[in-house]
Amino acid sequence: MDVWELIPPKREHIEKLMQMAKDNENCRRNVSIRDWKYLEALLQVSWDEIRSPAVLERFAPAIKGILKGLVEKGLAGNVWNLISPDRESIKKLVKQAGRCFRSLKPWERRSLSLNELDRALLRALME
């Protein structure tokens, strides 16, 4: 699944994501310094939504790295607030979640906390 299907390429969503990631060590490890500088420069320019396929392709790995860092830290609930999937994305999510749960044993399903479930679903989405 493409990262831009999860996070809309709108300024408000990217700003919120960058704000959550600023103090997160996992995010800094997953994203290169060069990508951080590009993202910071992008936020200094006036725009509402990124429409250029080249720009979207350039920033997709950085956004994906930030998402992975936030999910690893346990901030999956905050990431869910940024995600606004369309109908097709929801169908893909349901299929991937079904595959994840089929592989679990019954006692493993019962022992999952909601936070772990959020993290597992977000990891499945980002693959």
Residue listed under structure tokens 């831009």: 4
Q: Write down the pLDDT at residue 112.
A: 60
For the chain, the maximum distance between any two Cα atoms, rounded to a whole number of angstroms, is 51
Distance of CA 25 to the CA centre of its chain: 16
Determine contact, residues 50/9, Cβ cutoff 8 Å. yes
Give the residue with greater pLDDT, 62 vs 1. 62
pLDDT per residue over 23-68, tens digit each? Answer: 778 787 888 889 889 888 988 988 888 889 998 999 888 888 888 8
**Residue 3: per-residue pLDDT:** 80
Nearest in space to 59 (alpha carbons), one of 71, 77, 47: 47
- Per-residue pLDDT tens over the stretch 68-124: 887 776 655 566 666 665 666 667 766 776 776 667 666 666 566 555 656 666 666
